[in-house]
Amino acid sequence: MKKFLAILLIMTVATGALFAAGQSEEATEVKIGFIGPMTGDYANYGELMSQAVRLAAEQRNAAGGVAGMQIEVVVEDSEGVVEKGQAAIEKLASVDKVNGIVGAVFSGVSIAVAPRANAEQIVMISPSSTHADLTGIGNYIFRTTPSDALQADVAAAYFADVMGIKKLAVLYVKNDYSQGLYEEVSNIFEAKGGEVVAAETALQGDKDFKTQLTKIKAAAPEAIYIPNYVAEMAQILEQAASLGIKAKFLSADGFSNPEIYDLAGEYTNGVIYTGPVEADVAAGSTSFATDYSAKWGVEPDSFSKNSFDGANIIFDAVEKVYNEMGKIDAAAVRDVVAATTDYEGVSGSVSFASNGDLIAVQGIFEVQNQKPVQIGVYSVDGTDLVEIK
């Protein structure tokens, strides 16, 4: 009797395993994950980008889904913290078994979750993580935003060659994004003959920067570079004004989040920053902005466009693979994404380099009357700045 029960148990387990394996190949829905800050000081970044992913899924579902399958979006809150991001990728990979991920939002979190996504063969497309090392983590990692390598090259060359700045100060935050840009821009700026007269730092989440700003003021820079996130930058700009600092403020693509104008108001005027190029004439850009605003009651930012495109690139890849193979094969999905060339998205034309980076140019913006105005588009040839338009 015991022998019979043991055999029956083995047969039951084996049958269950075969059934489970069959289910994994016969997909009935497509799941896409999103990792970003949905609560805390940086929630506005995550909200704007996740809304774009949800809109992409909603529109695709209304049009019949992906190869006839409906899309489910699973949003995980990282709070902009590495540990929360690691918990998010664990859930998305092990529990939700997503077919792709848009995110993570911040470079530090993306660098932390990318190894797991790559190991699990989950295509991950970040709409906003710019750290130069990110895509080198694995061949399942991509981004629809320019790398810091390009952003730093363009920024430093623009500051030195176009603006003619000779003395630069930097106030950066100790995270992968801010510190990485500080190091790259400083190195290139000094190689061009400029001088970094002060380099002050802070911790993410700090509210008081007066000590650092007082030291910077004493160094008498012509401009102050603050490659940070909106919560810190708003405080820096307001406190600098209270200290009577007259130097020009410069920043990076973290400044492109529209919340900065709510937090810092008139103190934003005159700031010059690098960011994703405006896609005024991109395919569907106008209709996307209209649809997004109608759905969510706010205007999309540039990272929202990147998120929308990233989601649709994954949807297209899954559909192509499913139609050809009758199943969702992760390696095949990755290969289709990697082959993306001249994809006409709402952020502009998207092509991926062999390392997963976006082949891109960089925009230069100046804030005028609390609105960003694109004043130039650049690339670099070696160390030389090249104006595109």
CA dihedral 123, 127, 132, 138 (to 10 degrees): 0
Domains and CATH numbers, the chain: 10-145+281-350 (3.40.50.2300), 149-275+362-387 (3.40.50.2300)
- Which residues, 6 or more positions from 279, have their beta carbon under 8 angstroms from its beta carbon? 285, 305, 345, 346, 347, 348
Question: How many CB atoms are located within 10 Å of the residue 98 CB?
Answer: 26
pLDDT along the chain (389 residues), means of 10: 38 36 60 98 96 98 98 98 98 98 97 98 97 96 94 96 98 95 97 98 96 98 97 98 98 95 98 83 79 97 96 98 98 98 93 94 96 94 85
CA dihedral 144, 150, 151, 154 (to 10 degrees): -140
Residue 284 has a pLDDT of 74
* pTM confidence score: 0.80
Task: Report d(CA 315, CA 144) in Å as an integer.
Answer: 15
- Which residues, 6 or more positions from 4, have their beta carbon under 8 angstroms from its beta carbon? none
Residue 26 has a pLDDT of 61
